[in-house]
Amino acid sequence: MGDVLEKAREEVALGNRILAQEGVLDAFGHVSVRHPQDPKRYLLSRSRAPELVAPDDVLEYDLDSNVLTPTNEKLYAERVIHGEIYKARPDVMAVVHHHAPAMMPFCITGLPLVPVFHLGATAGGSVPFWDQYEEFGDTNLLVVKPEEGASLARALGRNNLVLMNRHGATAVASDVQGLVFRTIYSCKNAEFQFQAQTLGKIMPLHQGEVEKAGALNAMANVTTRTWEYWTMRLEKSGNGLAPAQKKRLKAKTKKQGKTKRRKR
C-alpha cells in the first residue's frame, strides 16, 4: 500500500509542476488525485505554490475535505472543490483548479468556450459556466464552503470542464496524466478560439468530431507521449523530481501504458 501511495503522491507533485512549467498554474491553483485504494479519500498538497510541490507535501483528505493526519501546515482554502467533485462524480480520479490566462477572457465575458481544433476536443462538446453570485450573492469569489463546492460540482455535471465566473476553471479526468493533457490543451483551445475570433466567425468541431477526437486524445499512446514530453521539459528547466522519484514514476507510467493497450 505504501508504494502505491508514494507513486500517487509523486504524480500529484509532478502534475502540479508540469502545469506550472506550462503556464497554467502560477502561485495559485492545485491538482489532486483520488486515493488509489480508498475512493472515499483523495490526495492534495498542503498550501504551496504548485511549482514547489513535492511528494512529501501531499496529504490525505476525506471527501468532506478534512485532512486525515493532524498537521500544523496551512491547507488550501479551496480544497472543497476537490472533495465535492469526488463525492458527486465517482468516475472522476483527478481534479485541477486553475486561473490560466487563456481561460480568463471566457470566465469574464461568459462567451461559450467551444472546441475549435482536434486536441481541443478533450474539453468536451459542452463547457458549462458557473456564476457563484446567482446562488450565494456577494462573496470573495473563493470556493471555501462545502455548499459552494457542491454547487460547482452540480454545474460541472457530467462534463470535463467548468468555467467559473470572474474566477477560473476546474477540470476533471480519469487519471493525472489525462488531467494534465486536458488542462493544457483546453487552454490551447481557448487561445486559438480567442485569436480566431479576431479573424471572423468561429467554426467549432461537429459533435461527432468531438466524440471521435476526444476518444483518440484519451488513448495511452497520446497521453503517455505528451506526459513524457512535458516531463522532459520540466527536467530541462531544472525543476523535476529527484532522480529516485523520477525512476519510480517512469516505471509506473510504462506499466500503465501496457495495461491500457491490453484493454483496447
Higher pLDDT, 255 or 8: 8
CA distance 199 to 121: 21
Q: Which domain holds residue 229?
A: 2-263
Count of other CB atoms within 10 angstroms of residue 22: 17
CA distance 20 to 73: 22
Domain count, the chain: 1
CA distance 206 to 51: 37
Catalytic residue list contains 84? no
pLDDT single digits (tens) 159-185: 999 999 999 999 999 999 999 999 999
Structure confidence at residue 64 as a pLDDT band (50, 70, 90):
very high
pLDDT single digits (tens) 231-241: 999 999 999 99
Structure confidence at residue 153 as a pLDDT band (50, 70, 90):
very high
What pairs with residue 232 in β-bridges? none
Which of 10, 11, 78, 84 is catalytic? The answer is 78
Q: Report the first-to-last Cα separation within the chain, whole angstroms.
A: 27
pLDDT single digits (tens) 98-142: 999 999 999 999 999 999 999 999 999 999 999 999 999 999 999
The grid cell for 129 is 459556466
CA distance 58 to 33: 10
The single-letter DSSP state of residue 166 is T
CATH number, domain with residue 245 = 3.40.225.10
Contact status, residue 108 vs residue 166, Cβ threshold 8 Å: yes
Q: What are phi and psi of 113, to 5 degrees?
A: -90, 125
Structure confidence at residue 244 as a pLDDT band (50, 70, 90):
very low
The grid cell for 216 is 483518440
pLDDT at 34: 98
- pLDDT of 51 strictly over 70: yes
